[in-house]
Amino acid sequence: MTDHGLDLAVIGNGRTAALVDPTARLVWWCYPRFDRDPIFCRLLSGDEEKGFCDVVLDNMADFQSEYLRNTAVVSTVLTDRNGGSVRITDFAPRFRQFGRVFRPPQLIRMIEPVAGLPRITLRFRPTHDYGQAFTHRSVGSNHIRFIHEGCVIRLTTDAPLSYIESEAPFVLTRPHHLVFGVDERFQDELETTCREFCDRTIDYWMDWSRGLSISYDWQDEIIRAAITLKLSNFEETGGIIAAHTTSIPEAPESGRTWDYRYCWLRDAYFVVKALNRIGATQTMEDFIAFTLSIASNPDEPLRPVYSVVPIDPMDEKTAPSLKGYRGDGPVRIGNAAAEQVQNDTYGSIILAAMPMFYDRRLPRLGDEGLFRLLETLGSKAGELALEADNGIWEYRGRQRIHTHSTAMCWAGCHRLAAIARRLGLPDRAAHWSAVAEPVHHALLQGAWNEKRQAFTAAFGSEDLDASVLLLPDLGVIEADDPRFVSTVKAMERELLREKHVMRYASADDFGLPATAFLICRFWLVDAWWSLGRREEAYELFVDALAYRNRYGLLSEDIDPQTGTLWGNFPQTYSMAGLILTAMRLSRSWEDRYWRG
């Protein structure tokens, strides 16, 4: 079996989320929200056994772990050599109550004997301040409180506290329940509450999945990707984070360790497009609202990335108490990319807001007021379209006039002209067409490299860049244009590695890249499909699905030689790319017999 590396499931509820491994060890949980201190940090603690919660089964011989279908609930069965087994169910409560969604910063674990007399040890080792052990705890009649200054975490349970405290093994003869979270007394009987919360959470996710508009092929894959995007949505503000982790390296010993627990406005375009495609309109609307609330402050220059609460600082520092994923650091908190110049951001927000003017399902449609707000972004896009920036891949050591950034600035201005026409504002339509046209001309001239017979990464550059595959999707050029056809051929020659696609192959601030970028494969599949190379596209996509982990999830990067997943996890970019490509390639329900 392929070493997937990151063989983890994400559980969550739109406020908090955790990662669980196939033996039901909770290895990562930031509390009380996505970008805060990890109570469980085992994922990044190297060889140190700290920051986790698990169930150790004596003489374990086998384990099976999976999501309950169409939910964010994980069920794991551990089996011992004598046939004894235990089932562990993990979830974060989420359901409708009193006219709103109940989503506390809380995890629930239910442990039940299934067969025989399984002997287990319950271990609960939380941390604070990125890897520090708690020095003080107090034990009540059915709870343990871990305390450090302002940080308090409470474990409420009907399991024997003395066994948990001393990590002593015992025979599991009846179900036990563990609730992790806020320091509040449990009002009702624990078992009844946990079971009710579990049932209602399952019902919520089944109902949510039922509302998705998906095509005939790859339904399970699309639904799992959609739930993963939903779990990355911080519902209070509408922000969608890039991933739930920090500092999982893009490649081993590369130093490319970044904190992705933030909202990149660039991702708005891809994520909104994917959510809109499958009818998850509420999450889409919330994310658009998040981006527009940032864009509506005329006194602040637009940053490429924000916290889920946009005014929170994102200063980058390292966590000395954590050794890193597989001991490979440094572990970073915050992200200095917030200070970079990334001009594509302006176009991204305009493109993300487009459904507000066209999608008749939405209760509040875009009006002239929203258009005027977007015009302020368009003015910046027009002004910065041919200026150097750090680009989509956030180069830390150089700036160039990046093809993708110019294309997104052009697309933003071009779409403003279309919105103006839809609103019956011909003078503004003419204005934005006049802004967009010279940018379009300069883009096709500046990005084309006659010697390479390709559109390259930046004006005057000979480097290839997979983001150029998006030019037809953005409307910059027709897919059958000979220049784009030859660009795709150039990328096949130089960026393909064992069917995986590199972002670029030239050296950057950290040397030559070693891993491929998962969403880039979906971009190539889309390009082949639009060029009529449909069988090749289909086969390349089906092959890509084989690299998802056992739970159907993808990270950011992949080792082309081994198929091991690297980079932060689960990656919304990758999951959005999977949805968009699957929907593009799938047969419709009417045509479902086409391929047999």
Please state the rounded mean pLDDT for residues 48-68. Answer: 97
Q: Do 420 and 525 belong to one domain? A: yes
| CA distances, 503 to each of 117, 184, 462, 464, 524 (Å) | 52, 48, 14, 8, 11
Q: What is the CA radius of gyration of the chain?
A: 25
Residue 307 main-chain phi, psi, to 5 deg:
-70, 165
Do the Cβ atoms of 538 and 526 come closer than 8 Å? no
Residue 539 has pLDDT above 80, yes or no: yes
Same domain, 245 and 186: no
Q: Last residue of a domain, which of 153, 183, 207? A: 207
State the helix-helix crossing angle for 368-384 and 426-446, rounded to 10 degrees: 30
Give the whole-angstrom CA distance, residue 114 versus residue 439: 66
Within-domain flag for 592:
no
Average pLDDT over the chain reads 94
How many CB atoms within 10 Å of residue 445? Answer: 9
Q: How far apart are CA 181 and CA 22, in angstroms?
A: 22
Does residue 1 lie in a domain region? no
| pLDDT for the residue 425 | 98
Residues 458 and 428 in one domain: yes
Residue 2 has pLDDT above 50, yes or no: no
Cα–Cα nearest to 475, from 362, 354, 391, 342: 354
Range of the domain at 272: 211-585
Q: CA-CA distance, 104 to 442, in Å (whole number)? A: 51
Mean pLDDT across the stretch 522-543? 98
Q: Give kind and range of the element (H or E) at residue 52.
A: strand 52-57
Tokens 């596209």 belong to residue: 537
pLDDT reported for residue 149: 84
pLDDT at 506: 86
Provide the CATH number for the domain around residue 557. Answer: 1.50.10.10
Q: Which helix (H) or strand (E) holds 85?
A: strand 85-91
Of 151-165, 288-302, 456-470, minimum mean pLDDT range? 288-302
**Phi/psi at 214 (5° precision):** -125, 160
CA 181/CA 408 separation, integer angstroms: 42
Looking at the DSSP bridge assignments, the partners of residue 291 are none
> Which of 207, 226, 242 is the last residue in one of the domains?
207
Query: Tokens in use for 99?
Result: 């006219």
The pLDDT value given to residue 224: 98
Q: Are 235 and 132 found together in one domain?
A: no
The C-alpha atoms of residue 579 and residue 584 are separated, in whole angstroms, by 9
| Residue 129: Cβ-neighbour burial (10 angstroms; 0-12, 13-18, 19+) | middle
Rounded to 10 degrees, what is the CA torsion of 567, 236, 214, 556?
-10
Which residues in 515-534 are b (16+ Cβ under 10 Å) and which e? bbbbbbbbbbbbbbbbbeee
Q: How many structural domains is the chain composed of?
A: 2
CB-count exposure of residue 367 (10 Å: 0-12, 13-18, 19+): exposed
- Which of 441, 438, 495, 436 has the alpha carbon at shortest distance from 469? 495
Label residue 297 by pLDDT band (50, 70, 90): confident
207, 240, 263: which is the final residue of a domain? 207
Using a pLDDT cut of 70, give the percent of the chain over it: 98
Same domain, 152 and 270: no
Is the per-residue pLDDT at 3 higher than 80? no
Residue 305 CA, distance from chain mean position: 14
DSSP secondary structure, 275-309, as one string: HHHTT-HHHHHHHHHHHHHHHT-TTSPPPSEE-SS
Rounded Cα distance between 574 and 514, Å, is 18
Is residue 593 included in any domain, yes or no? no
Specify if 445 maps to a domain. Answer: yes
> Between vectors from CA 451 to CA 446 and to CA 457, what angle results, nearest 5°?
45
In percent, the amount of the chain with pLDDT more than 90 equals: 88
- 279 within a domain of the structure (yes/no): yes
Asked whether residue 218 is assigned to any structural domain, the reply reads yes
Determine the pLDDT at residue 588. Answer: 79
Pairing mode of beta strands 233-234, 176-181: unpaired
Q: Are residues 372 and 410 in the same domain?
A: yes
Which of 270, 347, 339 has its CA nearest to residue 303?
Answer: 339
Give the C-alpha separation, 76 to 79, whole Å: 10
Is residue 3 domain-resident?
Answer: no
Q: Does 15 share its domain with 148?
A: yes
**pLDDT-based confidence at 584, cuts 50/70/90?**
very high
> Confidence class of residue 470 from pLDDT cuts 50, 70 and 90?
very high
Q: Are 236 and 553 in contact (CB under 8 A)?
A: no
Residue 592, pLDDT score: 64
pLDDT in tens, 86-136: 999 999 999 999 999 999 999 999 999 999 999 999 999 999 999 999 989
Query: pLDDT confidence of 507, banded at 50, 70, 90?
Result: confident
The pLDDT, as a whole number, for residue 1 is: 38
Q: For residues 150 and 46, state if they share a domain.
A: yes
Q: What is the pLDDT of residues 391-429, one digit of tens each?
A: 999 988 889 999 999 999 999 999 999 999 999 999 999
Confidence of residue 238 (pLDDT cuts 50, 70, 90): very high
Q: Where does the pLDDT of residue 538 fall: very low under 50, low under 70, confident under 90, or very high at 90 and above?
A: very high
Assess whether 559 and 493 both reside in one domain.
yes
Is 271 among the domain residues?
yes
